[in-house]
Structure 1
Amino acid sequence: MELVLRSYCDLRLLLLLLGFSAGAVLSRPTDEGKEVWGYVTVHKDAHMFWWLYYATNPWKNFSELPLIMWLQGGPGGSSTGFGNFEEIGPLDSNLKPRNTTWLQSASLLFVDNPVGTGFSYVNTSDAYTKNLDMVASDMMVLLKTFFDSHTEFQTIPFYIFSESYGGKMAAGISLELHKAIQQGSIKCNFAGVALGDSWISPIDSVLSWGPYLYSMSLLDDQGLAEVSKVAEQVLDAVSEGHYQKATQLWGKAEMVIEQNTDGVNFYNILTKSTPTPAKESSLEFTQSHLVQLCQRHVRHLQQDALSQLMNGPIRKKLKIIPEDHSWGGQATNVFQNMEGDFMKPVISIVDELLEAGVNVTVYNGQLDLIVDTMGQEAWVRKLKWPELSKFNQLKRKALYSDPQSSETSAFVKSYKNLAFFWILRAGHMA
């Protein structure tokens, strides 16, 4: 189980991320919340599923609160499943009301993205997306359809929140959305993007794995040397533009770490995962090994209990899921088709967002390994944003989830339209 911030702390930090005062007084009653869902055909033979919950705040109408789109990672992880029932939606995976839900602060739009994820599906094998450009293009079709048909949300502040690979997609989607708004093709009050434990610069994450684990006593000198050696191989592949090879070597680096740390959990270093059987160091990666990578990083987002929930009661409730499609049934294909894009950095896209004046918030869990905070700090230092030097000069501030306690929950540094949150005692699913 991840050590993550919950309840009162969750809501206070969410309010801070959205730019509200933590002491703001909410003053007006709301109508009863509702939910709607549907499909959008985003390109030929590709159908994307979305699920919207209207905010349910006892003092404010949904029109007075923001709209948040949540994007899961993977690629191939389902927002409507994992993000909804395991993280921030109104009900947990037992269909019990969550003690606190982001719905108390915002309306929530979950999208199964890219196509083939969750309840989204493709009719033909050539309809899967191959790269970030295709992912962003598909999302522009969905968002235009959504805002055209739900005009009540056109003027409400709209934020994109993301997790892991969802953050990489969120960056590309945010830039295209900003352009579409400027061109007048999408009517939307885009207020900013939040990149949570995001796969913005994969190589910076890989290069920091060894030093981070070493500093936490999870590697000794010999283990650090082994991890650093394979990390350099990943760096060489990325530098040469061999991104498929880099993805394969990334998987090899993970196995080296598992062997040297007795199976540390990549999503929370204080826990363990089931160790991968030892492989030869000269291993040649094949398609079957790519499937193993998908099983490790997408399967954990759709455990058996969640799959049973989504393919059982939820499927019956929604009533529109095709009979020949199961939730998560195409997830492995999504991951495989994105292999060549997986290790590509998008730091330049974040630069463009900052230059365009888009609000960018980076937040990261202290106990995350796969997208560790050291790696996030590394790519932020590479930004060419003219205001970066002033951002770097600032001293970060402590945040407290409980006003009655002196226990620090997070640190934050913010300048103009860039903010960075260090979330303490949180893993990858911060």
Structure 2
Amino acid sequence: MMKLLLRMRLRHRRLSSPPLTRLLACLLLLLLPLSRAATVVTRLPGFHGPLPFYLETGYVDVEEETGAELFYYFVESERSPGTDPVLLWLTGGPRCSAFSGLAYEIGPVKFVLEPYDGTLPRLVYSPDSWTRVASIIFLDSPVGSGFSYARDPRGYDVGDVSSSRQVVTFLRKWFDAHPWLLSNPFYVAGDSYGGKMAPVVAQYISEGNEAMRHPLINLKGYLVGNPVTGDDIDRNSQIPYAHSHGIISDQQYEAAMANCKGDYVSPANKLCADVLQTIKNLMSEVDTKDILQPTCPLDSPNPGRDASARRYLAEEHYYRISDPPVEPSSRCFEYRYYLSYFWANDNATRAALGVKEGTVTEWVRCKRSGFPYTYDVPSSIRYHFNLTTRGYRALVYSGDHDLGIPFSGTHAWIRSFNFSIVDDWRAWHLDGQAAGFTIKYGNNLTFATVKGGRHAAPGNRPKECFAMAERWLDNKPL
């Protein structure tokens, strides 16, 4: 019966009437274990009309002892879901919600950027969604991110290694419940700190496959954007990047090189420490995630809300708002983050997404404190090396206006592998213009920059990043 319903669900999703589709989905969900119960979402609060794509949300238990469950958003490919790749998307932080990927970067919805007036923020379809060519699982990981939770407080005490293994547990259980996708090519993807965890998760999947742990996941590779490594190379590359972009002077750069001897992380003498403090002050004058954009401190003055907004807030439309975030300027990229706080904490939103009552009292995009976290993968570089030398495909891309994780530092650790060059440094194009630059190395490793891209490049260069992802996933040259 289970297999029959799965086949019917796949065959009829595009062909049957909406009521029949919903009925088949509901019958399937009733057969799934309770801890993995899913919700088929056909409408989202703030989005006009039915969703033009298939969205499923749900939980998967990843630790029985503490009752830890990871929440996910699954969006099916709009092109050919039976054969298109399946991506797992991990967001940075750690403990930033995967909703960031869904609504700000590569997903099929985005916020209408209009001044918040107390009513529910509006969503519209994003034409540059990667779900046009791939099915994507947006995962709230580690526990404590987004709507993921644990019944026992001990379940929130995780780190790089334990959370990565929980992701693998999630995937094996998720594919158990979605076996029709097991034969599709699978990639682990993520940006920022998620870019650090992606190769770790991919290596654990690979090791599990080699040990014949079922279900066998059809891992083909991974892709990461402006990835943190945890290695000193990330921060050491900031100084030469800042110099090359006119943020620090020749004299300051020369003083740093002379007194710090290439180590800008742990100053060994006072002269080094002094020049690094000067440089730090200068770097604070720009947005490190996008050096061309205005700086938008989170503690900027709140312009306040009008009377209608205050009335709306008082009508208990929201789940449990204790202290709303400070409202940034609408010209800031972060304004969309501000809107998401009110959208995700709305009662109607939580009901539509199938969020379990009493599990997460207040949704925030990134939980910066409150839960322990162990950084026990000091550097992810060896995981990149291990995977690529074992034949897995890799795309590493960088928005070239990111000062936090500069493209030059990322390219430096890639070059340290000493792989042969298959296709030398060149421009890649979109609409007849250079969209960035790329180089392809042996072992199927591609590095690309996104011209004008910020720390999460799809956020401000969506068309370029979609073109890049589509070509790479389709095994075509950038």
> For 1:260, which of 278, 282, 285 is the aligned residue?
282
- Give the Cα–Cα distance (whole angstroms) in 2 for the partners of residues 216 and 145 of structure 1: 47
Secondary structure of the corresponding residue to residue 123 of structure 2: coil
Aligned to 2:92: 73
> Cα 1:301–1:142, aligned 2, differ >3 Å: closer, same or farther?
farther
Secondary structure of the corresponding residue to residue 430 of structure 2: coil
Aligned to 1:37: 57
Q: Deviation of residue 224 (structure 1)? A: 3.7
AA matched with 1:320: V
AA matched with 1:54: E
Q: Deviation of residue 223 (structure 1)? A: 4.7
AA matched with 1:77: C
State percent identity of aligned pairs.
Answer: 25
Q: Deviation of residue 163 (structure 1)? A: 0.4
Aligned to 2:318: none
Aligned to 1:234: 265
Are the counterparts in 2 of residues 130 and 341 from structure 1 also a CA contact under 8 Å? no
Q: Deviation of residue 259 (structure 1)? A: 1.9
> For 1:390, which of 420, 423, 429 is the aligned residue?
420
Are the counterparts in 2 of residues 30 and 56 from structure 1 also a CA contact under 8 Å? no
AA matched with 1:264: V
Bigger shift: residues 109-118 or 262-271 = 262-271
Are the counterparts in 1 of residues 231 and 380 from structure 2 also a CA contact under 8 Å? no
Tell me whether 1:136 sits opposite 2:164 in the alignment: yes
- Give the Cα–Cα distance (whole angstroms) in 1 for the partners of residues 88 and 75 of structure 2: 10
Aligned to 1:368: 402
> Cα 1:253–1:429, aligned 2, differ >3 Å: closer, same or farther?
farther
- Report which of the two has the higher share of helix: 1
**Deviations 1:141-188 (CA, angstroms, capped at 9, x unpaired):** 100100111001100111112101001110110000111122222322
Segments of structure 1 that go 5 or more residues without pairing to the other structure are 1-28, 238-251, 278-298
> For 1:193, which of 188, 197, 222 is the aligned residue?
222
> Cα 1:346–1:155, aligned 2, differ >3 Å: closer, same or farther?
same
- Give the Cα–Cα distance (whole angstroms) in 1 for the partners of residues 209 and 157 of structure 2: 23
Aligned to 2:176: 148
Aligned to 2:19: none
- Give the Cα–Cα distance (whole angstroms) in 1 for the partners of residues 137 and 183 of structure 2: 15
- Give the Cα–Cα distance (whole angstroms) in 2 for the partners of residues 187 and 220 of structure 1: 54
Aligned to 1:289: none
Q: Deviation of residue 225 (structure 1)? A: 6.6
AA matched with 1:63: G
> For 2:340, which of 306, 322, 332 is the aligned residue?
306
Secondary structure of the corresponding residue to residue 62 of structure 1: coil
AA matched with 1:36: E
> Cα 1:324–1:86, aligned 2, differ >3 Å: closer, same or farther?
same
Aligned to 1:182: 210
> For 1:86, which of 104, 108, 117 is the aligned residue?
104
- Map 1:274-313 to 2 at 5 A: 274=296, 303-312=337-346, 313=348
- Give the Cα–Cα distance (whole angstroms) in 2 for the partners of residues 85 and 175 of structure 1: 28
Aligned to 2:68: 46
**Deviations 1:1-51 (CA, angstroms, capped at 9, x unpaired):** xxxxxxxxxxxxxxxxxxxxxxxxxxxx95584221211121223221111
Aligned to 2:372: 337
- Give the Cα–Cα distance (whole angstroms) in 2 for the partners of residues 113 and 184 of structure 1: 25
- Give the Cα–Cα distance (whole angstroms) in 2 for the partners of residues 374 and 192 of structure 1: 23
Tell me whether 1:315 sits opposite 2:350 in the alignment: yes
Q: Which has the higher contact order (CA 8 A, sep 6+)?
A: 1
**Deviations 1:66-108 (CA, angstroms, capped at 9, x unpaired):** 11111110111111x2110111211112311112211111111
AA matched with 1:112: D
AA matched with 1:346: S
Give the aligned CA root-mean-square deviation in angstroms: 3.1
> Cα 1:103–1:82, aligned 2, differ >3 Å: closer, same or farther?
same
Aligned to 1:269: 291
> Cα 1:407–1:196, aligned 2, differ >3 Å: closer, same or farther?
closer
Aligned to 2:37: none
**Deviations 1:171-213 (CA, angstroms, capped at 9, x unpaired):** 1100001111222223221111002100124411211111111
Q: Deviation of residue 235 (structure 1)? A: 4.4
Q: Deviation of residue 127 (structure 1)? A: 1.9
- Number of aligned residue pairs: 355
> Cα 1:100–1:276, aligned 2, differ >3 Å: closer, same or farther?
closer
> For 1:216, which of 234, 241, 245 is the aligned residue?
245
Q: Deviation of residue 236 (structure 1)? A: 6.9
- Give the Cα–Cα distance (whole angstroms) in 1 for the partners of residues 179 and 284 of structure 2: 53
AA matched with 2:78: T
Please give the TM-score of this superposition, normalised by the length of structure 1: 0.74
AA matched with 1:148: D
Bigger shift: residues 212-221 or 268-277 = 268-277
Tell me whether 1:98 sits opposite 2:126 in the alignment: yes
> Cα 1:48–1:324, aligned 2, differ >3 Å: closer, same or farther?
closer
Please give the TM-score of this superposition, normalised by the length of structure 2: 0.67
